[in-house]
Amino acid sequence: MSAVNVRRAEKSDLDQLVALEMRCFAGDRLNRRNFKYMLTKAHGQLWVAEDENGLLGYVLILFHRGTSLARLYSIAIDVAAQGKGLADLLMEQAEHSAKETGCVYMRLEVREDNTRAVRLYERRGYRYFGRIPDYYEDGCAALRYEKALKVKPPDNRINVPYYAQTTEFTCGPSALMMAMRSLDPQFPLDRNQELRIWREATTIFMTSGHGGCGPHGLALAAWRRGFWVKLFISQEGPLFVEGVRSDNKKEVLALVHEEFEQELEKTDVEIHKRGVSSADIQSCLTEGGVPIVLISTYQFNRVKAPHWVVVTALDDRFVYINDPEIDEETFRLETDNINLPIPRQHFDAMAKFGQTRLRTAVLIYGRTKDEATESNLLQSGPRVAAGDAG
């Protein structure tokens, strides 16, 4: 084989890329429109290997905006060039580019029956972490793999079953359902439950479309289902008021908020009138709870919208989350949204929403308040409360 050059793909490569895709894959192919999107709009990189006769292979990586995660979306080597080290060459380029972009993890899916590719990934240090049945067009399952490019993954990431929101306004119920299912394996993860919780917990956030769920409603929904709850909230009074102009709508928000507060007074939900801190989140995880936190989506998609996520781990550099929103238009799939690493300084900025810099979280525990308190004392010994000063 003549000398091989690896370079970034260009628009002029479109014809060769499509032809290469047709030769390499029998199904689940990228078409010309897909390749054009990847070259011009996608938040990612497309690299090609070529010799004097043309393209021999390509590797496509996508970056999850606002996070430190890269995804190996596709890799293809021409049949005539296989067995000559091109796959390793392109993988090396992909991993190097991901690290240069600031990513610390690379994830991928591979056909369960593609033993050659599986051997390649495992030889390069990728770790199996899940299986997706019926993933490809022909019904073949996909195996999920992950590689830490710069840092060691935290050992204490909790196993939170994933659930993707089915509407644009049910991130709160979906995050809450993931938390409750983590604590109770019998808790249902289905659309009926998602919409039921939304009806209970909606704050009627009426800029346009359907209302979203606030922390008070989600805390009540969890408490009604037998979970003990801690609620952290930095703002007094109705939430999201700055998002509406109509006095009538503001009055509705105030009435809903007042009713939620009256209902909470009848429960043992522990309310902290201050913003949630990293220490609070870490304590929740250490004590066996699951935190759900309100963030702004601006870092993800440049749209300032409130959005609920599940925190699955913390370490010195990152906050790891399950994000219930899947954006198929940008080729983001479930794998991209599980244990998603976000630099701590980015997450601290994301976890403040709106003009009031609202900081709120709902911490879910699978035990009663008395049992949790007793367990915490046994684990950590005597402690002096520092109070809830803002």
pLDDT digits (tens, 9 = 90+) for 164-218: 999 999 999 999 999 999 999 999 999 999 999 999 998 765 555 557 899 999 9
Q: For the domain that residue 237 is a member of, what is the CATH number?
A: 3.90.70.10
Domain-embedded: residue 164: no
Domain-embedded: residue 192: yes
Q: Do 178 and 86 lie in a common domain?
A: no
Q: Please give the tally of structural domains in the chain.
A: 2
Domain-embedded: residue 276: yes
pLDDT in tens, 222-262: 999 999 999 999 998 888 766 666 787 788 888 888 999 99
Domain-embedded: residue 157: no
Domain-embedded: residue 239: yes
Q: Do 73 and 19 lie in a common domain?
A: yes
* Pairwise CA distance, residues 214 & 92, whole Å: 45
- How does 261-278 read in b/e, with b if 16+ C-beta sit within 10 Å? eebbeeeebbbbebbbee
* Pairwise CA distance, residues 210 & 89, whole Å: 49
Q: Do 87 and 136 lie in a common domain?
A: yes
Q: Do 288 and 319 lie in a common domain?
A: yes
Domain-embedded: residue 336: yes
Q: Do 59 and 203 lie in a common domain?
A: no
Domain-embedded: residue 159: no
Containing domain of residue 78, as a range? 5-148
Q: Do 298 and 175 lie in a common domain?
A: yes
Q: Do 213 and 362 lie in a common domain?
A: yes
Whole-number Cα distances in Å, 145 to 24, 25, 150, 334: 21, 20, 16, 13
pLDDT value for 359: 95
Domain-embedded: residue 160: no
Binned at pLDDT 50, 70 and 90, residue 371 comes out as low
Task: Please report, as a single letter, which amino acid is at residue 272.
Answer: H
Q: Do 135 and 218 lie in a common domain?
A: no
Q: Do 179 and 270 lie in a common domain?
A: yes
Q: Do 107 and 218 lie in a common domain?
A: no
